[in-house]
Chain A
Amino acid sequence: MRAVQITAWASIATAEEREAFNPRRDLPNRKHLKLMTPSVRLGVAAIGKALAARQGWEDVPAERRGLFVGTTPGTGEGGDLAPALEAAVGADGAVDLERFGREGEALVPPLWLVRGLSNNILGFASAYWDLRGVNGNRTEGRVSGLGALVDGYWAVAEGRADLVIAGGADALAEAEAILGHPAGDGAAFVVLEPGAGPLRVQRAGVRLRAEGCATLAEPDLGAADGPVRLVRQLASGARSLRVEVCDPMGLTGFIELAGPDAARA
């Protein structure tokens, strides 16, 4: 088992970072924008920033570069289906699913399904930066991003990758009314590599808590919650830290960094 350390990080989560984010400028191929939902744009851009912060990442063979992403399922645009659904409304005003098939199918955009896949961050980012290694896409609510960090940690620790980009992205600002509490958009990714430097990962995991979830973080950044909190702490200079995120379903994700003293020991 190899020691694992964080060697770079990036986020698009603060008000300043989101204001500075320009998808047409910051993403490698603007033609793909129409296929990307807001969370995919944020996630792919944050991965690019994290790689840019790790100079020389290209020296690691593509086959040994892994990517683990935490996202929310169903990130497609409901509006894509609006014409088809409109056509499915019967005389009584109710939606008739058979009518949807009969009248609406021709109005479904061919790439609706593809645009809504929650692993699209992996698909785009792997193609842009030639990431061909081990990978995973976690979808477990607010714990998703930390779940991706957990998988990335093990991939490096077990020698299945030499460089892993791991983190999460979500876009919940529009869902505040559903959630009933403050929510926002964000993405954060870290680079994990073998080594026992000052940012050594000590422990990481996702568990179901017996006692449920006591408090929820606000604003709710969904799948990005854990990675954003981690990156904020790293950016503030913290080296011995624990980030824990709890999901309303009772799932809890955590990651602990040992700090420089533990690394020397």
Chain B
Amino acid sequence: MKRVAVAAVGVVSSLGVGAEANLAGIREGRQGAVTLDWLAPAGLGCSTVAQVPSEVVDLPGYPDDRKVALLAAAIEEALAGYPPDGPPERRGIFLGTGLSSVTPREIEEDVSPHVRGERVDRALAMGDLSRDRVAPWRHLPERATAWGAARIGARGPVGTTFSACAAGAEAIAAGARAVARGEADWVIAGGYDAMIHPLGMASFDVLGVLSHQGCRPFDRRRDGFLLGEGAAVLVLVPEDRCPHPLAWILGAGSSLDASGITAPHPEGVGAESAMRRALRDAGLRPEQVDWVHAHGTATQVGDAVEAGAISRVFGAGVPVSSLKGAFGHTLAAAGAVESAATVLALRAGLIPGTAMCEEPDDFGINVLRATTASAPKIALSNSFGFGGQNTSVIFAAGE
């Protein structure tokens, strides 16, 4: 892929609102976890989450839709960093999002009143909803994309993806390709998600993937992730429009595990394929990569599978870290939030450490625990999702 300039970043996460706050958190190796008072009495197995630390104001027209509010904040920061220019037909937007599109309010107002015994009375539900024409449209992801397109004045290529936890990375790869092939000159690409509510917490808790002690990627004591929330977008433009960008996107690769929907391929063949394809797309050899920003969810199986794939592609030496100890798992936004973090770290000359990892498991890879100022030039960021979708994106430091 022809390289694409990352001209600006907008990011909201548990480390804070904005690039500056997030970079400061990364430098400090901070964990953005909080225990929520209102979750504790809810009796859920886990009440510690990685929540955005400031008040989140609803976007007008999107009541109780926290994820869209986060997206709007990220887009506004990116717009301030590199405002759109050129004709609307040459501007595009690519966003990834997830299940949180069903908001607590919808559950409360649209579903719960129609529960009769142990089933949902569909006829009753349909009848009620037909009188409230707002409800069906409230959760549609394309509505947020259309809002974003209107906000940036885009009439160019548009895309909305749901690829579970690979969605944000997939959207960034799609946006970069649209710029690289000359279909657009100014693209917003990223992802957003927010599931910190009892329904979201319960959904993951019953799967046994939430940690009760803190998210410890690649640690011997890892027992899952903290639920995070966030949004991040990158402004992507052709090289000639921004010769001195924050960073470059050099390539991307995607793959399917082809092994089922609930667990990664046991040998990580899909993860390995995505990384190798990204390297090929970027025209790089493995030894040219200075940092692997791992998906690193801190689940027993997930980390072991990813470590094996990294080891086969890169060997044992390349520094590997995961920022889920800092951000929690921001789900469909993870690929975008972590891509933004990759850009900020490369810009600052840092390889972030793996917050909360105290005793790395014996995976045969070089898990970096503390942040180092080693001026990395090239980083590969991994995002893997339920359903076996894998995406890797390669970034280079700006000049």
Q: Which residues of A contact B (CB under 8 A)?
A: 35, 62-63, 67, 71, 73-74, 78-79, 81-86, 88-89, 95, 97-105, 108-114, 116-120, 122-124, 126-127, 130-141, 143-144, 147, 151, 154, 158, 160, 174-180, 205-210, 247-251
Question: Across the interface, do A101 and B155 meet the contact criterion of CB distance under 8 Å?
Answer: no
- Contact A132 B256, CB 8 Å, known A100-B199, A177-B127: yes
Pair A74/B102 contact, Cβ less than 8 Å:
yes
Q: Which of A127, A210, A248 has the most chain B CB within a 10 Å cutoff?
A: A127
Q: What distance in Å separates the Cβ of A133 from its nearest Cβ neighbour in chain B?
A: 7
For the complex, is B242 an interface residue (Cβ under 8 Å from A)?
no
Is the CB–CB distance between A137 and B161 below 8 Å? yes
Residue of A nearest to B170 (CB): A136
Instruction: From A117, A147, A174, A176, give the contact of B386 (CB < 8 A).
Output: A117
Say yes or no for B41: interface residue by CB 8 A criterion: yes
B13 CB-CB contact with A under 8 Å: no
Whether A123 contacts B386 by the Cβ 8 Å rule is yes
Within the complex, what minimum Cβ distance (angstroms) separates A181 from chain B? Answer: 11
A249 touches B120 (CB 8 A): no
Chain B residues closer than 8 Å to A136, beta-carbon distance: 161, 163, 170, 174, 254
- Let me know if B389 and A122 touch, CB within 8 A: yes
Q: Is the CB of A207 within 8 A of B157?
A: yes
Residues of A within 8 A of B155 (CB): 207-210
Give the complex CA separation of A265 and B205 in angstroms: 60
* Contact residues in A for B254 (Cβ distance below 8 Å): 134-136
For A134, the chain B residues whose CB sits under 8 A away are 254-255, 277
Interchain CB contact under 8 A, B206 and A110? yes
Near A by CB (< 8 A), chain B positions 196-224 give: 197-199, 201-207
How far is B129's CA from A180's CA once the two chains are assembled, in angstroms?
A: 10
- Determine whether the beta carbon of B118 is less than 8 Å from that of A140: no
**Which residues of the partner chain B approach A85 to less than 8 Å between Cβ atoms?**
107, 111-112, 115
B110 CB to closest chain A CB, in angstroms?
Answer: 9
Question: B207 → chain A, closest Cβ, in Å?
Answer: 6
Contacts of B98 in A (CB 8 A): 73
Whether B38 lies near A98 (C-beta < 8 A) is: yes
| Contact A249-B146, Cβ < 8 Å, known A98-B42, A114-B262 | yes
Q: In the complex, A155 Cα to B198 Cα: how many Å?
A: 39
User: Do A100 and B198 have beta carbons less than 8 Å apart?
Assistant: yes
When the two chains form their complex, are residues B160 and A138 in contact, meaning their CB atoms are under 8 A apart? yes
Closest partner residue, chain B, to A99 (CB atom): B42
Nearest B residue to A128 by beta-carbon distance? B258
Q: Which residues of A contact B104 (CB under 8 A)?
A: 97
Residues in B whose Cβ lies below 8 Å from that of A176: 126
- Is B387 an interface residue when CB atoms closer than 8 A count as contact? yes
Is B159 a contact partner of A206 (Cβ separation < 8 A)?
yes
Contact yes or no, B257 A140, CB < 8 A? no
Residue of B122, B160, B177, B256 with most chain A CB atoms under a 10 A cut-off: B256
* Residue of chain A at shortest CB distance from B163: A137
Contact digits for B250-262, partner A, Cβ 8 Å, 1 yes 0 no: 0000111111111
Q: Which residues of A contact B101 (CB under 8 A)?
A: 73-74
Please name the 4 residue pairs, one residue from A and one from B, whose CB atoms are nearest each other, closest first. Answer: A101-B42, A102-B43, A123-B261, A123-B387
Q: Which residues of B contact A251 (CB under 8 A)?
A: 142, 145-146, 158
Q: Are A101 and B126 in contact (CB under 8 A)?
A: no
Q: Which of A102, A140, A174 is close to B122, meaning CB atoms less than 8 Å apart?
A: A174
The CA of A81 and the CA of B118, in the complex, are separated in Å by: 8
Report which residue of A89, A135, A180 has the largest number of chain B beta carbons within 10 angstroms of its beta carbon: A135
List residues of chain B with CB within 8 A of the CB of A210.
88, 155
Contacts of B240 in A (CB 8 A): none
The verdict on B156 contacting chain A, using a C-beta distance below 8 Å, is: yes
19 pairs of residues in contact across A and B, judged by CB atoms under 8 Å: A74-B139, A85-B115, A86-B117, A98-B198, A100-B198, A101-B39, A101-B202, A105-B205, A113-B206, A114-B386, A119-B386, A126-B388, A133-B255, A135-B256, A137-B163, A137-B389, A138-B159, A138-B161, A178-B129
Closest to A97 in B: B198
- Determine the distance from Cα of A119 to Cα of B386 in the docked complex, in whole angstroms: 8
Q: What is the bound-complex CA distance between A68 and B86, given in angstroms?
A: 31
Which A residues lie within 8 Å of B164 (CB)? Answer: 117, 119
Residue B352 CB within 8 A of the other chain:
no
**For chain B residues 156-187, which have a beta carbon within 8 Å of chain A?**
156-164, 170, 174, 177, 181
Inter-chain contact B41/A133, CB cutoff 8 Å: no
A136 vs B253: C-alpha distance in the bound complex, in angstroms? 12
Q: Tell me the complex Cα distance, A98–B108, Å.
A: 12
Give the complex CA separation of A251 and B197 in angstroms: 30
Contacts of A207 in B (CB 8 A): 155-158
List, in ascending order, chain B residues with CB within 8 A of A180's CB.
130, 133
- Does the CB pair A82–B206 fall under 8 Å? no
Chain A CB within 8 A of B246 CB: no
